[in-house]
Chains A and B, each alone.
Chain A
Amino acid sequence: MINIAWKVIEVLALQLTPTEREIVLGDLIETRETSCRGMLEVSGLAARRQLQLWNGWRPWLAAPGLALPCSFMLMGFSFAISSELRNHFVHGWELSFFSTQPVEAISLLCQILVLLICAWAAGFTVESVSRRTSVVSAICCFLPCLFCLLRFRQESLSRFCLLLFLFPAIAGVFFSRCDGRINRPWAVALALVATICLALLAIRGHLWLLNWELIGPPWYLAILPVRSDRLAVSQNEELFHE
């Protein structure tokens, strides 16, 4: 088999568990399959393994259940915050804004807190619920972004302001990937802050009913350490990995 083709096969095989990778690559060497056939075989097995993962509820919850709707909603928050901040920057930032327009200031603060907490918690939750399908979850997150970026018609703002939420979300994903744990008092505090902020925004009429879904991930984090589910999550991940 040509060297480059073999490298491609090895890269494709990275989608398999280490044990299975070892077996399949050994099989390909032994049968001296052509490079094209080898790529097909490895991709076929990887595709079957991915499809098997979708037999459970976790990938469905992570990708279309959380990543897709949260991405849409958090883009709304990113846009609202960007427009608000732009207005203040254009007219010169004044600290007196907080004393002259306290309600507006609180509303802005609430939006920022919701964006930070919910995006971070959503990233963490999506990653911890179904780690092996994170590519599909990422696609579910980026598709709405692409859809909105292509239709963005606001001249005063850069279209990339819609992606503000990605920074805390990606931070949440990496925190989960590094097996980060958040202690319960902090998680409960964050969930409470997010809930209060959403409630305040709802009272001000700045909230769409479906935005309440954003409260799911922070409360998942708050409940996670005390539920036996956590064990199930880690056991599930172990099973998938080995």
Chain B
Amino acid sequence: MMLGEFEYLLITAAAILGENAYGVAMREAIVKTTGRTCSIGALYTTLDRLEAKGLIKTWMGEGTAQRGGRSKRMVHVTPAGTAAARKFYDSMTRISNRAPWAAQRTERAR
């Protein structure tokens, strides 16, 4: 199962955040790292899709005072999600290896 780009971003953000992965934290991580905006609509509809595919698991977390006592939607990446993200990453890395924009980076790494 090949992921879409945004799906990959969400799975990666959730994997990095670990036990603290939930809507706001994931949005912040994506905005900070990629510089692109992430709307609440895009976030939650994509999370639903990923959950339906069995790539993540979500549940209601506890509310905090910071959120006015309202619950969070916590996210956990399943083994299938990890495998799908790894496959996406490998494919992107392989195909990018010999791309002109990747050449400089490879040179620098050497």
A contacts, CB < 8 Å to B:
19-20, 22-31, 41-42, 44-45, 47-49, 52
B contacts, CB < 8 Å to A:
23-24, 27, 39-42, 44-45, 60, 63-64, 66-68, 70-73
By the criterion CB–CB under 8 Å, are B41 and A26 in contact? no
CB < 8 Å: which of A23, A45, A48 contacts B71?
A: A23
Q: Which residue of B lies closest to A31 (CB)?
A: B24
User: With a CB–CB cut-off of 8 A, which chain B residues contact A45?
Assistant: 39-41, 44-45
User: With a CB–CB cut-off of 8 A, which chain A residues contact B67?
Assistant: 26-27, 29-30
By the criterion CB–CB under 8 Å, are B44 and A29 in contact? no
User: With a CB–CB cut-off of 8 A, which chain A residues contact B24?
Assistant: 27, 30-31
Q: Which residue of B lies closest to A21 (CB)?
A: B70
7 A-B pairs closest in CB distance:
A26-B70, A44-B41, A26-B67, A45-B41, A41-B40, A29-B68, A48-B41
A42–B41 CA distance with the chains assembled, in angstroms = 7
A22–B71 CA distance with the chains assembled, in angstroms = 6
A39–B72 CA distance with the chains assembled, in angstroms = 19
CB < 8 Å: which of A23, A47, A48, A52 contacts B72?
A: A23
A27–B73 CA distance with the chains assembled, in angstroms = 10
